[in-house]
């Protein structure tokens, strides 16, 4: 597969990953964290904010 095509597909995959991941993480937070204390919200959004990097690393390494 040409490098240019891999980069285009990887870019589309990264954008899709970020959008879908953000929507799912927000939907889970809305459904389950409504009455939780502030520190649970902070911990949840801290972990979900970092966790998306793992699949993104695999996509980026495939692009290279």
Q: pLDDT tens-digit profile of 5-62?
A: 999 999 999 999 999 999 999 999 999 988 899 999 999 999 999 999 999 999 999 9
Contacts for 48-54: CB closer than 8 Å, 24+ residues apart: 48/21, 52/17, 52/18, 52/21
Q: Look-up: residue for tokens 């204390």?
A: 37
DSSP per residue over 5-23, as a string?
Answer: HHHHHHHHHHHHHHHHHHH
pTM of the full structure: 0.82
> CA 62, CA 56: separation in Å to the nearest integer?
10
């Amino acid at each position: 597969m040409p490098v240019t095509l891999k980069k285009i597909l990887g870019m589309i995959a990264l954008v899709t990953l970020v959008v879908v991941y953000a929507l799912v993480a927000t939907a889970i937070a809305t459904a389950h964290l409504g009455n939780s204390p502030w520190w649970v919200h902070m911990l949840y959004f801290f972990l979900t904010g970092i966790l998306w990097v793992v699949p993104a690393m695999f996509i980026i390494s495939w692009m290279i």
